[in-house]
Chains A and B, each alone.
Chain A
């Protein structure tokens, strides 16, 4: 049984102009100890799908799913008490901007020990000891001094380490890292990525790493899902997706990266824009921007199973092979 099993997940945001389908028929499975990377451009639904799992979708958003199972329990259908005992304990999340996701009014100690006392029932003293251990584990020097610090006294990298300490405090089975390094400098980013990879191995956590940066995902993830306009268009083993992607969107995205076009004067671009709430095409969502689109692409794209994953496309295949032939 997979640790996380999501099928038919929809997240809709109704508005005056119509309904925004932020997540559209998402299917995802994650084994214990596996690292999944979710990549996509802004607005592709990568964060929203994981916020739905955490129960963090704000009103008036609606979450529907065939099932949204974590360790065999359907999170959408269990009662509130059970849900609260899972979320924050077995599933933890790290957010993008460490400077704004810590509460400026409370000390680091209070913020780390809060979940320890709530979920694990530790006393104040025990929680303090554990918090000290955690800070040491995430590589913060002089943890006792740092426990008394307020978030404004910490640098960006340090704040993100504190966020990670909070997230792993209850030894979660699944850690969701939503753009954990986007707000950080490259040298600090490398430190944080290394830290996440080490913790993931040590504690054998499953991890979902959300990022718009394909490089970051390729450094950490074992499997990668690419999202476009609320749908997963391709999910493959990491090696395969970067070497021989099958979906035209994945191919275009990789070609648009400056590092893939060394020596060329121009970068590959994807014509047009991500469809908005009102101009979603009736068929395949990527068809209007796709260089390979045919007549059949005016109908919704089917999901093909490949040896290592799935592709949502009428005409999947490696563009590289075509060029070679």
Chain B
């Protein structure tokens, strides 16, 4: 995270400052288009070998963030530095290098592989476009990559339908790794998989990170998975950062009411997340087209005050993390009291 000065000296794999994205939503022929602020003022950095997990409910802007970092769309404002290169001002040649440095793994392995292509074709695709290797060399690389993700090299001539969900996700990961990227953007990579398969894929991702020094931007709504794989956590709600910090700080002592609610409403086996009380939020996510004035979470927040409804809180450092909440200090005292009360 940006807080530690020691890390600032080395070059981050990706460093984002004030990233925002705005979509224009057509409302019909005669009405002006509405503006949807899908992401607002997001800042973070990911170093090699680190995982930043982005959590939040559907519609909170996680995938918008993923698409911006994966260079699939340009941010409306803010700066994105990748390996020291400013993305917005990059030349065409630089762009093609940047695109090789970041690759993406999608949620549904049944939809993200072309059913008409053999595994070999799928894996060689990135090489054909970006390298000058001859087809034999490409095939050798594809076979090696299959082995690296835990599949047998002789599977190279099979079609995707001959594989199970977990195996397909391995193929999707193999495809993402073909160009030796430094950053992998994984958008809910395990949420379509069963528990035992999910464990295999999470292990694979951890192994690859250890051996290749990959940085991950890991998007997930499953806090159990996030707690296992992440180093840093960014909690989003309606396009805004609510709380951001290293995993230990956030999970052991969540201070933002939304983080607390997420932890408190995640079903767990009896014991629950340590430090999280069972808590059920009322209501549903407001429309991102008409976000609440003031703090965007104020309409569902159990601690909201008059100020929260009027004034939008700024993200600021507090107790070893970044938090956007007017009541952070009060809530911190509350959790201290609760902690001393239970022990």
> In the complex, are the beta carbons of B200 and A191 less than 8 A apart?
no
Name the residue among A239, A242, A257 with the largest chain B CB count within 10 angstroms: A257
> In the complex, are the beta carbons of A259 and B194 less than 8 A apart?
no
Nearest-neighbor residue (CB-CB) of A264 within chain B: B228
Interface size on A, residues (CB 8 A): 40
Q: Given A215-B267, A216-B267, are A257 and B195 neighbors across the interface (CB < 8 Å)?
A: yes
Nearest-neighbor residue (CB-CB) of B273 within chain A: A259
Q: Given A191-B280, A212-B194, are A185 and B269 neighbors across the interface (CB < 8 Å)?
A: no
Q: Looking at chain B, what size class is its interface with the partner chain?
A: 35 or more
B325 → A minimal CB distance (Å): 17
Give bound CA distance, A191 to B273, whole Å: 18
> In the complex, are the beta carbons of A268 and B268 less than 8 A apart?
no
> In the complex, are the beta carbons of B196 and A258 less than 8 A apart?
no
Q: Given A185-B57, A268-B199, are A213 and B265 neighbors across the interface (CB < 8 Å)?
A: no
> In the complex, are the beta carbons of B228 and A267 less than 8 A apart?
yes
Residue B194 contacts which of A42, A242, A266 (CB distance < 8 angstroms)? A42
> In the complex, are the beta carbons of A187 and B268 less than 8 A apart?
no
> In the complex, are the beta carbons of B228 and A261 less than 8 A apart?
yes
> In the complex, are the beta carbons of A214 and B265 less than 8 A apart?
no
Q: Given A193-B267, A215-B266, are A258 and B199 neighbors across the interface (CB < 8 Å)?
A: yes
> In the complex, are the beta carbons of B269 and A187 less than 8 A apart?
no
Nearest-neighbor residue (CB-CB) of B200 within chain A: A269
The reply to whether the CB of A157 lies closer than 8 angstroms to some CB of chain B is yes
A288 → B minimal CB distance (Å): 14
Q: Which of B77-85, B141-149, B219-227 contacts A (4 or more CB under 8 A)?
A: B219-227
The reply to whether the CB of B270 lies closer than 8 angstroms to some CB of chain A is yes
> In the complex, are the beta carbons of A242 and B270 less than 8 A apart?
yes
Q: Given A212-B195, A253-B195, A253-B196, are A189 and B203 neighbors across the interface (CB < 8 Å)?
A: no
A211 → B minimal CB distance (Å): 9
> In the complex, are the beta carbons of B262 and A265 less than 8 A apart?
no
Q: Given A215-B267, A215-B269, A266-B203, are A258 and B228 neighbors across the interface (CB < 8 Å)?
A: yes
Give bound CA distance, A267 to B200, whole Å: 8
19 more A-B residue pairs beyond the given contacts A212-B194, A258-B227, A267-B199, with a C-beta to C-beta distance below 8 A: A185-B57, A185-B58, A185-B221, A186-B221, A188-B284, A189-B267, A190-B266, A191-B281, A213-B267, A214-B269, A216-B267, A256-B199, A258-B199, A259-B268, A259-B269, A259-B273, A262-B227, A266-B203, A273-B166
Q: List 25 A-B contacts (CB under 8 A).
A: A185-B285, A186-B221, A186-B223, A186-B262, A187-B265, A189-B267, A190-B279, A214-B269, A215-B224, A218-B268, A253-B195, A257-B199, A258-B199, A258-B222, A258-B229, A259-B227, A259-B268, A259-B269, A259-B273, A267-B203, A269-B199, A269-B200, A269-B203, A270-B196, A273-B164
